[in-house]
Amino acid sequence: MANLDGIQGILFDLDGVFYVGDQVIDGSPEVIKYFQEKHFPCRYVTNTTTKSIDALHQKLQGLGLPIERHEIISAPYAALLYLRQLQQPSCHLVLCEEVKQDFGEFAQTDTTPDAVVLGDIGRAWDYAMLNRVFQMVMSGAKLIALHKGKFWQTSEGLQMDIGAFVAGLEYATGTEATIIGKPSPAFFELSVKALELPKTKVAMVGDDIDSDVGGAQAVGLKGILVRTGKYRQEHVDSSPVHPDLTIDSVAELPRYF
């Protein structure tokens, strides 16, 4: 039995924990309702970069997941807060069109931006686009990545994530990207701050042993791993991270609280 005594708030990953694609994981809506009825503080944190907060909230509602809009903390939202601290930089946005709308307060340019912001753009990646970003960074632009995920689980199986492109640009430019989403310590700090609790009173639930569990533990949170989504036993075996608790799915979580 894991020692979760004293935990007073939870950060939940979304994709892979409550759903995969458009398929809800059995029992997950009931988990949300359980913690709501207990008035247990929760936030839902995600590296998803293909949807705005409004669109993501609509998806969750459509899936029957009763999560409030203000409870969602996404990597694009964290990036927006980060850019505001840079005194209105001009930006080149490598983002899907829907998410670009959330960054409308910043001047956008395709020539010499102060910052390049990278997110997931699906099948639109190509050499010309990567080379253009390479040239911008070589000319002095700050490289900002919404996350550096290796892969993610879809209804079609595991798919390569944007981390490979981020790593390639870092290698080619000799520049280290600023990573905004999980497992960035700043992302977890932002999320815990929203709960208004000490880090030692918060647990993170996710399907990625490194980004979710490892990232959370690195800043002082408890890390709970679910065997759904991108979970693969071979990745757990090869990881130096040791979860505080591993459960078959999020549906099992209420028994610990």
CA distance 224 to 13: 11
59 located within any domain: no
- CATH number, domain with residue 205: 3.40.50.1000
Q: Please, which pLDDT band fits residue 40 given cuts at 50, 70 and 90?
A: very high
R_g (Cα) of the chain, nearest Å: 18
CA distance 190 to 240: 25
| 122 plus 190 within the same structural domain | no
Q: What is the pLDDT of residues 130-184, one digit of tens each?
A: 999 999 999 999 999 999 988 877 777 888 889 999 999 999 999 999 999 999 9
> Two tokens at 70?
């203000």
CA distance 12 to 21: 17
| 95 plus 168 within the same structural domain | yes
* Residue whose C-alpha is closest to residue 17's, from 48, 52, 55: 48
What pLDDT shows up at residue 217?
Answer: 97
User: Which of 153, 179, 205 represents a domain boundary (last residue)?
Assistant: 179
User: Which of 129, 160, 179 represents a domain boundary (last residue)?
Assistant: 179
Q: Please, which pLDDT band fits residue 2 given cuts at 50, 70 and 90?
A: low
User: Which of 179, 200, 222 represents a domain boundary (last residue)?
Assistant: 179
pLDDT mean over 10-14: 98
Q: What is the pTM of this model?
A: 0.85
SS3 148: coil
What pLDDT shows up at residue 12?
Answer: 98
| 133 plus 202 within the same structural domain | no
What pLDDT shows up at residue 7?
Answer: 96
Structural domain count, the chain: 2
What pLDDT shows up at residue 168?
Answer: 97
Q: Which residues of 144-174 are buried (b: 16+ CB within 10 A; e: fewer)?
A: bbbbbbbbbbeeeeeeebbbebbeebbeebe
CA distance 191 to 169: 28
Query: Domain limits at 238?
Result: 9-47+182-256
Contact 124, 147 (CB under 8 A): no
> Two tokens at 23?
């398929």
* Residue whose C-alpha is closest to residue 74's, from 95, 88, 92: 95
Instruction: Please report how many Cα atoms fall inside a 13 Å half-sphere around the Cα of residue 123, on the Cβ side.
Output: 0
SS3 55: helix
Checking if the pLDDT of 1 tops 80, the result is no
What pLDDT shows up at residue 145?
Answer: 95
* Residue whose C-alpha is closest to residue 2's, from 228, 222, 155, 250: 222
CA distance 91 to 186: 21
pLDDT mean over 179-198: 93
Q: For residues 102, 213, 40 and 33, what is the CA-based torsion angle, rounded to 10 degrees?
A: 80
| 187 plus 235 within the same structural domain | yes
Calculate the average pLDDT of the chain.
Answer: 94
Q: What is the pLDDT of residues 201-226, one digit of tens each?
A: 999 999 999 999 999 999 999 999 99
> Two tokens at 210?
């490194």
Checking if the pLDDT of 253 tops 60, the result is yes
